[in-house]
Amino acid sequence: MSMKSRGMVGGELAKNFMPRNWALLMCLGSFCAGMLFTNRMWMVPEAEGIVKPSTLEDFETNLKSEDGDPKLKVVQRSSNESIGTLDKTISKLEMKLTEGRAAHESVMDGFSISENLKNDETSMKRKYFMVIGINTAFSSRKRRDSVRATWMPQGDKRKKLEEEKGIVIRFVIGHSSTPGGVLDKAIEAEEMVHGDFLRLQDHVEGYMELSAKTKSYFSTAVALWDAEFYIKVDDDVHVNLATLGTTLSRHSMKPRVYIGCMKSGPVLARKGVRYHEPQYWKFGEVGNHYFRHATGQLYALSKDVATYISINQHILHKYANEDVSLGSWLIGLDVEHVDDRRLCCGTPPDCEWKAQAGNICVASFDWKCSGICKSVERIADVHQRCGEDENALWSASF
């Protein structure tokens, strides 16, 4: 290449070449401009009124304004370190929340288990076959002793009867008109010896209060024992327990039964006679008869029927005669009336002949006395001649 050519090329390069000082100035200007732009994007000063949240709760609090309306307050950090710190705080709070939930669920699970155990205990409450309430009075100590000496098991045998056969037997009595008096103390002393009383806390004894006593008995018995049947019997009646059990077991599958010797006597309007009914006019014209009802010496109710009396006892009307009152409480219900004449056999020779024929009676008494006449003296003889075999009760299955 000629020197001329070289001169031309060098001239063009020299003409297009930027001076070094200008290049340095431009680079410095670009750097400063970049730094200024970067700072404006990331170094925003914190405005007044914006509080840095130190915890998750503070952060949530700052999302609400003073008047309670939700607002989004943007909290900006000056560096990645601040953002990292907030992330760690949130993570810790989430872990604590998870632990708290686990603890709460553990407590609730324990509570549920406790409740289930309690429900299981309730569902496992002992169920009995029948509860027999022997209606008695303060003056009937000798009658009670005669029953204890014949058909009512005593001591360990009575406890065994409850445990193995599910049969509960108690003498039923309320309180005297003078609480804590001589009569009540006598019953308490007798209870200490035998332990076979059911005291009706809300009942005051009296002949004209038998209907009230019947309501109180069923209410109390249902509350104390969960049984299939509840029986009321007088303390001057002889009972064969095994035969009673097998008789009732035939009706176990029925929901509502009323079992006894059904009768329908005349409504006695004349004052002064035994069994006078002051409210005779409710039964129609003078001379009319009562509706069918079980005689009061012994009758049995299934659980649902006894429970109905318990629930509604405060509004059930009381007539002069206890057996009539009970019949009136059930006459309008869907209850099956079972008339079984074995529950009202006569004393010997009646019950004796039937026993010899293999048709053992459930209960025996004299109609003319509404019980066994002179029961204290005669019940042992009735028991010997009309009672079932001694082992019948323990070999029977209900």
For 265-321, write each residue's pLDDT tens digit. 899 988 888 888 999 999 988 888 999 999 999 999 999 999 999 999 999 999 999
CA distance 38 to 216: 93
Please tell me the least confidently modeled range out of 35-44, 339-348, 382-391.
35-44
Nearest by Cα to 257 from 232, 234, 229: 229
Residue 61 has pLDDT above 80, yes or no: no
Residue 348 has pLDDT above 50, yes or no: yes
DSSP category for residue 52: P
pLDDT of residue 180: 86
Residues of the chain with pLDDT > 90, as a percent, come to 60
pLDDT of residue 286: 87
Residue 218 has pLDDT above 60, yes or no: yes
Residue 121 has pLDDT above 60, yes or no: no
Residues 6+ apart with CB under 8 A from 316: 215, 309, 325, 329
User: Please, what is the Cα angle at 135 between 303 and 175, to 5 degrees?
Assistant: 105
Please tell me the least confidently modeled range out of 42-56, 277-291, 316-330.
42-56
What is the model's pTM?
A: 0.69
DSSP category for residue 177: S
pLDDT of residue 69: 47
Please tell me the least confidently modeled range out of 69-73, 95-99, 166-170, 278-282.
69-73
Peptide bond into 349 cis (omega under 30): yes
Nearest by Cα to 326 from 201, 174, 216: 216
Tokens of 21: 């000082």
- 3-state secondary structure at position 28: helix
Please tell me the least confidently modeled range out of 59-63, 288-292, 383-387.
59-63
Strands 363-364 and 238-239: antiparallel
- Sequence-ordered strand ranges (E) for 152-279: 167-175, 197-204, 226-234, 238-239, 257-263
Alpha helices in 175-267 (DSSP H): 182-194, 210-224, 241-249
CB 299 within 8 A of CB 343: yes
Please tell me the least confidently modeled range out of 134-138, 202-206, 222-226, 374-378.
202-206
Residues of the chain with pLDDT > 70, as a percent, come to 69
How many CB atoms within 10 Å of residue 104? 10
Tokens of 219: 């209410």
pLDDT of residue 74: 43
pLDDT of residue 390: 85
Residues 6+ apart with CB under 8 A from 135: 172, 210, 213, 217, 232, 233, 234, 235
CA distance 137 to 143: 9
Residues 6+ apart with CB under 8 A from 165: 129, 245, 393, 394, 396, 398
Q: What is the CA radius of gyration of the chain?
A: 47
pLDDT of residue 129: 98
pLDDT bucket at 19, cuts 50 / 70 / 90: low
- Segment 73-80 shows an average pLDDT of 46
- Segment 134-155 shows an average pLDDT of 97
Residues 6+ apart with CB under 8 A from 161: 153, 167, 169, 241, 393
- Segment 112-119 shows an average pLDDT of 45
pLDDT bucket at 65, cuts 50 / 70 / 90: very low
- Segment 337-363 shows an average pLDDT of 96
CA 25 to chain centre: 95
